[in-house]
Copies of this chain bind each other. A is one copy, B any other.
Amino acid sequence: MTVSNDTYPSRVEHDAQILPRTDPVVYGTSGPLTPTQLAEYDANGYCFLESFLSEEEVTVLRLELESLRTAERVRQSEISITEPASGAIRSIFAVQTVSDAFASLAADQRILGMVRQILGSDVYIHQSRLNLKPGFVGKEFYWHSDFETWHAEDGMPAMRAVSCSVALTDNHEFNGPLMLMPGSHRHFVQCAGRTPEDHFLTSLKKQEYGVPSCEQLEWLTAQCGIAVPKGPAGSIILFDCNVMHGSNSNITPYPRSNAFFVYNSIENTLEEPFSANGQRPWYLASRAPEVITPKDFRSTCGNLMRTPQYA
């Protein structure tokens, strides 16, 4: 299936190109991000906020993470993805549907304020997940633009979505931290190869389609370089849907876990996929957009920490 007036065609038969971005990066103006931070986001396609959450908030999230990791109802669910080799849980999708704590974090008013400032509208959650990169055997995530997949396989029309990655463990240089190419969000990297049927069944374990070529990555790296934000648990990265990113493997004993929420503008809801037959499941791409109402995650945590459960 090909859409003739597609601004960002991908999964092309041959001769994949790098096209300029035609959408804005920042849609709004006022909000909690300073003009400098907003300009940085515009230029680099991401903004790193060290120690954004308090230790108390991190404690609540880590306890919740451990509880989800071992919950049989979660392990058995289609929302859980396991490591090919070890069988350990690698990701839990749609985490806000199985956890009140992560649902409250996703709606945190501080995060939402920044996201709405960037996107200039109300927002909903397009996708969310917990990533659990275990120690010793954590595998790499190869370079990709999220938007390429969301556009081609989910029908996201424009580049008007922001991802928020919340570090639940310390990000060191050596435990497979997120690598981003600053400024790469200005370029749409077409990927070669038709999307196979039910691609999501294999793509979450090993990427084969929607993967940039070595030549494209060399060109982008020469333009943009590679940045590796590092910081303690509770740090967050806001990044544009089209920034090129990936991570190396992790043989250290330190696991790397993060919660990842994708906020899409309510004015950018999904259409039919631009380069795939059929739609991906609900937990990868929401087609029931609900505008998020801000919550006060910090006080939720404060209250929780005073209950016997967390004492």
Asked whether, in the complex, the Cβ of A179 is within 8 Å of the Cβ of B252, the reply is yes
Q: Specify which chain B residues have a CB less than 8 angstroms from the CB of A253 in the assembled complex.
A: 214, 217-218, 221
Main secondary structure of the interface of A (DSSP, over half): loop
Number of copies: 2
Residue of B nearest to A222 (CB): B253
Contact bitstring A216-235, B, C-beta under 8 A = 1, else 0:
01100100001010000000
Task: Output the least CB separation between A57 and chain B (Å).
Answer: 26
Tell me, yes or no, whether A45 is within 8 Å of chain B by CB: no
**Stretch with Cβ within 8 A of B (4 or more), from A19-27, A242-250, A263-271:** A242-250
Task: Output the least CB separation between A240 and chain B (Å).
Answer: 20
With contact pairs A173-B173, A174-B228, A226-B174 given, residues A140 and B221 touching in the complex (Cβ less than 8 Å): no
With beta carbons under 8 angstroms apart, the residue of B136, B172, B221, B251 that contacts A252 is B221
Asked whether, in the complex, the Cβ of A251 is within 8 Å of the Cβ of B176, the reply is no
With beta carbons under 8 angstroms apart, the residue of B140, B174, B228 that contacts A249 is B140
Residue of B nearest to A250 (CB): B248
Tell me, yes or no, whether A142 is within 8 Å of chain B by CB: yes
A136, A140, A218: residue with the most chain B Cβ atoms closer than 10 Å? A140
Tell me, yes or no, whether A102 is within 8 Å of chain B by CB: no
Task: Output the least CB separation between A177 and chain B (Å).
Answer: 9
Task: Output the least CB separation between A85 and chain B (Å).
Answer: 12
Q: Specify which chain B residues have a CB less than 8 angstroms from the CB of A140 in the assembled complex.
A: 249, 251
Tell me, yes or no, whether A147 is within 8 Å of chain B by CB: no
**How distant is the Cα of A247 from the Cα of B136 in the complex, in angstroms?**
11
A-B contacts besides A140-B249, A143-B251, A174-B226, 15 pairs, CB < 8 Å: A136-B214, A136-B217, A139-B249, A173-B173, A173-B228, A174-B179, A174-B248, A179-B251, A179-B252, A217-B253, A221-B252, A221-B254, A246-B251, A248-B249, A248-B252
